[in-house]
A and B are shown apart, each in its own frame.
Chain A
């Protein structure tokens, strides 16, 4: 059993008057993939966006309760979100490369964090990130081309490389394959398998099969509540909760 990397205690999130998360207590283990499943609008994405404080962008969003990473309270008002996001990277549902060159897409993060002082250091970071995201072989000869010229799957791997480039500890993935075809999806899943050796990964997914394939731990959300969490195998084979059972067998959702 790995160490606990992130621990949430009684986490509540409100969008204006509407409560989106109710007392979520969820532990995420280090160097493991945790999958979050549940019907649309159940709060999975809201939960992972608490981990890198992306909810700050939304004016009306209010977060109460505790969420800790290595004992540090993420939800602390005085916390510097810039250094938090350096440690917690994120990959979004729709690939969103910057409309710049492939190289610039990846070197941007290290540059703003002062990593890679020299050109050769930056080159090294770019190469390593692309290798880790299994994109290097495909793009090494055209690093100057715009990132948006890549195919959807390549763009998503570019976004993963971009997240890796600042050497985070945690990578959040918000339905990273929902806009991709099965082949591209398979590549991303392979990649996730590889990445979990180095990073703690949280993935939100609508695909039960994907959760089974990539994750060690699965949490099931419903209407803002964490219904059940446990080893992926147990959740899918022998869930404790009736609702979980109904959801994974496709009876609702």
Chain B
């Protein structure tokens, strides 16, 4: 082979390599686009809900309360009859069967919505007000265009008569789409139109908070001790190997551990953010210790020597110089560890967070769900409304993760000191 041929061959090899690299990046990007597009197209409609504008007349005889009734009296009062009487007027139904079908167009929460509207303005006794009542999931999906209406009636969840009412509503501009506040503030529900991630959000928040409070100090102190103070011998080597191994242990194992120790032995309350937080802390601990130690190790030894040489004690050299310099790396490692914990599902399922919890937890010892588990729960439901809510929850989860990772990168870039 001549010199020119060899040179050409080298150039060709380089070009090939560049092509492979570019191709793999494009493939990776394509997957990301498909994933994001899929989630967005399914989930974005969950942030809107369909409402039916209805006139409600608060009949004093039906409510059986007096003008100027107290909050408690209103809470106790039965709004069911008021609801029925008013809702059946939304469309001229001929008989009882048609009235039933008409009522099914409204969400199961219609009575509560009417009561809340009355509570807000309790002078409306004997008056008529206009309310936007949440539509049932079937109407919601139909209105969002997620439901085919050209199927034969027996294969539809909506009857022909209901379609007629729906068209009547559309024609009279009685049906519209609002911001879906239920999705953010409600807990889980059997009815997709009123189900929300409020409970899961609070549950995840408490879990991550407990995880942070437990894992961060322990991980930071452990890394400082191991990196700066521990004698270098077989025992520390053994500990180091085990920390690395623990970081690779599948998370479900931590779930089993928590099930046995936290729930069965210590008898902590099941399905609670407290247990979830402890479990996630166990899982996150090695994942924080590793980046913490790496950032401590990245502080050049000359800084330690410089401090020691002016007479700083070991403790002072570590806490005045090494730790502040390692802090940005430590914090970003912690945030990334927490982001992983936030998306963790398997161990939470084992400790019972997969339970159906309607109430929003008011403390870390109340039963609760969490964002990833909520995704898991809803993904098993057949209703079209839960499909969009699953994707919307994933969107929320992903945006939290992106924000956390962004903070981590920002901290590292902004505050990390560089040495030549």
Interface residues of A (CB under 8 A from B): 52, 54, 57, 59, 82-86, 89-90, 92, 94, 96-99, 108-109, 112-113, 148, 159, 162-163, 165-166
Chain B residues with CB under 8 A of A94? 302
Chain B 257-308 interface residues, beta-carbon cutoff 8 Å to A: 300, 302-308
Q: Are B310 and A52 in contact (CB under 8 A)?
A: no
Tell me if A112 and B308 are in contact (CB < 8 A). Answer: no
Does A96 contact B311, Cβ atoms closer than 8 Å? no
Known: A112-B312, A163-B309. 20 other contacts (CB 8 A): A54-B309, A82-B311, A85-B310, A85-B311, A90-B305, A92-B306, A98-B307, A98-B321, A99-B303, A99-B325, A99-B417, A99-B419, A108-B307, A109-B310, A109-B311, A112-B310, A112-B316, A112-B320, A148-B417, A163-B310
Contacts of B320 in A (CB 8 A): 108, 112
Interface pairs (19), CB distance under 8 Å: A52-B309, A57-B304, A57-B305, A57-B308, A82-B313, A85-B311, A90-B305, A92-B302, A92-B309, A96-B300, A96-B302, A98-B306, A99-B419, A108-B307, A112-B312, A148-B419, A162-B310, A163-B309, A165-B310
Q: Counting CB contacts under 8 A, is B232 at the interface? A: yes
CB neighbours of B419 from chain A (8 A): 99, 148
**Which residues of the partner chain A approach B232 to less than 8 Å between Cβ atoms?**
59
Q: How far is the CA of A83 from the CA of B320 in the complex (A)?
A: 18
- B307: chain A residues at CB < 8 Å are 98, 108
Check A83 against B311 for contact (C-beta < 8 Å).
yes
Interchain CB contact (< 8 A) of A92 among B305, B316, B325, B417: B305
Distance of A140 Cα from B320 Cα, bound (Å)? 25
Which residue of the partner chain, among A83, A85, A112, A113, contacts B309 with CB atoms under 8 Å? A85
Q: Is B231 an interface residue (CB 8 A)?
A: yes
Given A82-B312, A83-B311, A166-B311, answer yes or no on A159-B231 (Cβ-Cβ < 8 Å). no
Q: Which residues of B contact A85 (CB under 8 A)?
A: 308-311
Contacts of B304 in A (CB 8 A): 57
Among A57, A59, A83, A90, contact of B231 (Cβ-Cβ < 8 Å): A59
| Residues of B with C-beta under 8 A to A59 | 231-232
Q: Is the CB of B417 within 8 A of A89?
A: no
* Cβ-closest chain B residue relative to A111: B320
Determine the residue in chain A with the shortest Cβ distance to B316. Answer: A112
Q: How many A-B residue pairs have CB under 8 A?
A: 66
Shortest B95–chain A CB gap in Å is 84
Pick from B300, B309, B312 the residue with the most CB of A within 10 Å.
B309
Contact partners of A86 in chain B: CB under 8 A:
310-311
CB distance from A47 to the nearest CB of B (A): 16
Q: How far is the CA of A89 from the CA of B305 in the complex (A)?
A: 11
Query: Assuming the A-B contacts A96-B302, A98-B303, A112-B316, are A54 and B310 also in contact, with contact meaning beta carbons closer than 8 angstroms in the complex?
Result: no
Query: Does more than half of chain B's interface fall in helix, strand or loop, or is it mixed?
Result: helix
In the complex, the answer to whether B306 meets A166 with C-beta atoms within 8 Å is no
Interface size on B, residues (CB 8 A): 21
Chain A contact residues: helix, strand, loop or mixed: helix
Assess whether A96 is in contact with B310, with CB atoms less than 8 Å apart: no
A83 to B305 Cα, complex, angstroms: 16
Over the window 311-338 of chain B, the binary record of Cβ atoms lying under 8 Å from chain A Cβ atoms (1 yes, 0 no) is 1110010001100010000000000000
Whether the Cβ atoms of B306 and A159 lie closer than 8 Å is yes
A84 to B325, CA, bound (A): 26
Note all chain A residues with C-beta closer than 8 A to B313: 82
Q: Which 4 A-B pairs have the closest CB atoms?
A: A96-B302, A109-B310, A90-B309, A85-B311
Tell me if A166 and B325 are in contact (CB < 8 A): no
State A108–B305 Cα separation when bound (angstroms). 14
Kindly identify which residue among B303, B309, B316, B325 contacts A89, using a CB–CB cutoff of 8 Å.
B309
| A54-B306 in contact given A98-B321, A112-B311 (Cβ < 8 Å) | no
User: With A59-B231, A59-B232 in contact, do A97 and B310 touch (Cβ < 8 Å)?
Assistant: no
Contacts of B300 in A (CB 8 A): 96
Q: How far is the CB of A165 from chain B (nearest CB, A)?
A: 7
Residue numbers in A under 8 Å from B302 (CB-CB): 92, 94, 96
For the complex, give the distance between the alpha carbons of A85 and B313 in Å: 10
Q: Which residues on B sit within 8 Å (CB–CB) of A166?
A: 310-311
Chain B residues lying within 8 Å of A96, measured Cβ to Cβ, are: 300, 302-303, 305-306
Write the nearest CB–CB distance from B104 to chain A, whole angstroms.
69
Q: How far is the CA of A148 from the CA of B325 in the complex (A)?
A: 14
A109 cross-chain contacts in B, Cβ below 8 A = 310-312
Q: Which of A83, A97, A113, A165 contacts B306 (CB 8 A)?
A: A97
Contact A54/B311 with A59-B232, A98-B321, A99-B417 known, Cβ cut-off 8 Å: no
> Which of B231, B304, B308, B325 gathers most chain A CB within 10 Å?
B308
- Nearest B-chain residue to A108, judged by Cβ: B310
Chain B min CB distance to A149 (Å): 12
Q: Which residues of A contact B306 (CB under 8 A)?
A: 92, 96-98, 159, 162
Given the known interface contacts A98-B321, A99-B325, A108-B320, the answer about A54 and B231 at a Cβ–Cβ threshold of 8 Å is: no
Chain B residues near A99: list those with CB within 8 A.
303, 325, 417, 419
Residue among A57, A98, A113 having the largest count of chain B Cβ atoms under 10 Å: A98
Q: Shortest distance in angstroms between B160's beta carbon and chain A's nearest beta carbon?
A: 76
Report how far A59 CA is from B353 CA in the complex, Å: 49
Min C-beta distance of A192 to chain B, whole Å: 17
* Contact (Cβ within 8 A) B321 A54: no
Instruction: Tell me the nearest residue of chain A to B300, going by C-beta.
Output: A96
A222, B320: Cα distance in complex, Å:
38
